[in-house]
Amino acid sequence: MSAADAHAEAARLMGICNACRYCEGYCAVFPAMERRIDFASADVSYLANLCHECGACHSACQYAPPHEFAVNIPRTFAAVRVATYEECAWPGAFAGLFRRSPLLVATAMALSAALFLALGAAATGGLFMRRDGGFYAIFPHGLLVAMFAPAFGFAVLALAMGAARYRQLVRDSTGISPEGADALRAAGDALTLRYLDGGGEGCFEGRGDPAKPRRVFHHFTFYGFGLCFAATAVAALYHYVLGLSAPYALTSLPVALGTLGGLGLVAGPAGLLWLDARRAIELVEPGQRSMQRSFVALLLLVSVTGLALLALRDTALMGPLLAIHLGFVLAFFVTLPYGKFVHGIYRSQALAKFAREIRAPNTAGIADG
């Protein structure tokens, strides 16, 4: 679905939903909708990014296809979100990458893994020599910093620019913007995935009972990622402050955090891919699905290669595993601003806007007379 089509369809659906309102209790989307009468582009970009795609409203919808009103909020909003990501992409010339996620991710992974394999092969002693866990003997610390720091720095910059663009995109006539307390509330909602819950029943993947696994797998993924990030941060502290060089013992803090995070990053993405495969086809927006699968698969491959490296770091396979793992991690940072990762940023911003909005009286108020 093109960006314009997705916006027009979303506005049509909001007109129907706003006259019905049965789904008000499921999530933030519908209470936010009720504060509006017209659905301009800014409103649609805001509402669509509030949607966590739990599927509850679709399962409950008396107007879902084959009804002639053909209401399908999860899929339409997913299409709008892809459009949002493109509109907010920085630099704008890279916007087209969101719809080419599988190609982008696969290319980035292949190229950067090949780069590290080549660098490793060129290192003194070659890639397969046993080095008793001495990573820096193959890839000197300085070289790694020189490669990862710019990749990471650019990703942060691109994401920040995207966030600034999204803020502009959803700016509406109310002119009010979130404050500290709203950001805090939004952070809580995001960190607990409050709305990935079908109003308390769980997610609807299609037929069958609503269930909680998607939220659980997302938590594994997010907090697994967080632990891995923490492991890297602690390792940097060890290196620069304490002067302790890698490799660290299995019982050390960086390795413990990384192992725990890595396990979460296996269980979470694997579970999400499993759920994605079972998801009812009418809920699936192809552009969104390929983006999601690419990102989740990359996370899974990063964690699997990381854990394999940990297990085999004292064997001759350490060198090639390290090269592949580092290649995948580099690919992760390079592709970060142009894939599914951005959903967390825009959704958090939308949640903050919602938190601000609901503190004020509903000015689109319908007299309860």
Q: Which of 31, 162, 258, 306 binds other proteins (CB under 8 A)?
A: 31
The reply to whether 115 sits near other proteins by the rule CB under 8 A is: no
> Which 3 state secondary structure label does DSSP give 265?
helix
**Site for other proteins contains 23 (CB under 8 A):** yes
- Whether 81 and 343 have beta carbons less than 8 Å apart is answered as yes
23 to each of 19, 90, 237, 285, 341, how far by Cα in Å? 11, 35, 48, 21, 27
Token code pair at residue 94: 């890279």
Which residues in the 59-98 window bind other proteins by CB under 8 A? 59-64, 66-69
Neighbours of 70 (CB within 10 A): 14
- Total of residues contacting other proteins (CB under 8 A): 37
Query: Which of residues 26 and 90 has its CB atom nearest to other proteins in the complex?
Result: 26
Residue 70 or 183 with smaller CB distance to other proteins: 70
172 binds other proteins, rule: CB under 8 A: no
Q: How far is the CB of 68 from other proteins (least distance, A)?
A: 6
Closest CA to 60 of 71, 45, 48, 44: 71
Nearest distance, CB of residue 368 and other proteins, angstroms? 4
User: Which of 8, 16, 137, 304 is in the footprint of other proteins by CB under 8 A?
Assistant: 16
255: which 2 tokens?
């390795």
Q: Which of residues 194-213 bind other proteins (CB under 8 A)?
A: 199-201, 209
Q: Tokens at residue 157, please?
A: 């910059």
Find the binder of other proteins among 11, 26, 162, 339 (CB under 8 A).
26
Q: Which stretch binds other proteins (CB under 8 A): 214-222, 287-295, 330-338, 357-365?
A: 357-365
Among residues 20, 121, 187, 263, which is the contact residue for other proteins, using CB under 8 A? 20
Contacts 24+ apart (CB under 8 A), 16-25: 16/63, 16/69, 16/71, 17/71, 17/73, 20/62, 20/63, 22/60, 22/62, 23/56, 23/57, 23/60, 23/61, 23/73, 25/199
How far is Cα 162 from Cα 52, in angstroms, rounded to an integer? 20
Smallest distance from other proteins to CB 185, Å: 20
Q: What is the largest CA-CA distance in the chain?
A: 83
Residues of this chain that interact with other proteins (CB under 8 A) are 15-16, 18-26, 31, 34, 37, 56-57, 59-64, 66-69, 199-201, 209, 362, 364-369
